[in-house]
Amino acid sequence: MAGELVLVTGGSGFVGSHVIIQLLNAGCQVRTTVRSLKREGEVREMLRVGGVDAGDRLSFAAADLTSDAGWAEAVAGCAYVHHVASPFPPSIPQHEDEVIIPARDGALRVLKAARDAGVKRVVLTSSYAAIGYGQPEQKAPFDETNWTDPNGDDVRAYVKSKTLAERAA
C-alpha cells in the first residue's frame, strides 16, 4: 500500500482522521472526502494535533453521502477505499430515515464508485451497532452471522442506519 493513493471517506470525523494518520504514517498518499472543501484547514489542524503534517500527501474531494456528485472524482486513481463516513446526528432525528437513507445509500454510492474506478479493495468501517442490538443477550463472541434486529426495542436510528448500510453493502 505504501505510495499508493487511498481514499478515506469522512476525513473530518474522529475515526476518519485516525485512519488518515495511520495511512500517512505507512507512506500512503491519501485523499479524503468532506462535504465542504472549506473544512480542509480544520482537518489538517486535527491531523497536526495527531502528530502528522500531511503536506502534499493529503488531498481533498467534495462528496456527500446524499448525492451522486463528486464520488467518481473522489475515487479516481485510488487503489483502495476506506469508507468511514456515516451520519451521526447530534440529537435524535425527527424521523429515522434522516440517518438511515444517507448511511445506506451513501455506502452504496461509495461501493459503486469504487467498482467503476477499478479500486482493488474497499474497507467498510463497521460498528457494534450493526450486530449487538435488538436480540437476546449472548455470551459467545459475535461473528459474521450476528446482525442487529432493526425492529428491536433498543434499536435507535443510528444503530439501525449502521445495520442497514452494512447489510446493503
Give 8-17 pLDDT, tens digit per residue. 999 999 999 9
- Architecture of domain 5-168 in this structure: 3-Layer(aba) Sandwich (3.40)
| Domain map (residue ranges) of the chain | 5-168
Residue pLDDT, tens place only, 34-71: 999 999 999 999 999 999 999 999 999 999 999 999 99
Task: Average the pLDDT over 158-167 and give the result.
Answer: 93
User: Are the CB atoms for 86 and 10 separated by under 8 Å?
Assistant: yes
- Residue-wise pLDDT for 82-125, tens only, equals 999 998 888 888 999 999 999 999 999 999 999 999 999 999 99
Catalytic residue flag (residue 162): yes
According to the model, what pLDDT value does residue 162 have?
A: 93
Contacts of range 25-28, beta carbons closer than 8 Å, 24 or more positions apart? 25/52, 26/1, 26/2, 27/1, 27/2, 27/3, 28/1, 28/2, 28/3, 28/4, 28/57
Q: What is the pLDDT of residue 167?
A: 93
Q: Which three cell numbers stand for residue 35?
A: 462535504
CA 107 to chain CA centroid, nearest Å: 8
Residue 1 has pLDDT above 80, yes or no: no
Q: Give the CA angle between residues 37, 126, 69 to the nearest 5°.
A: 30
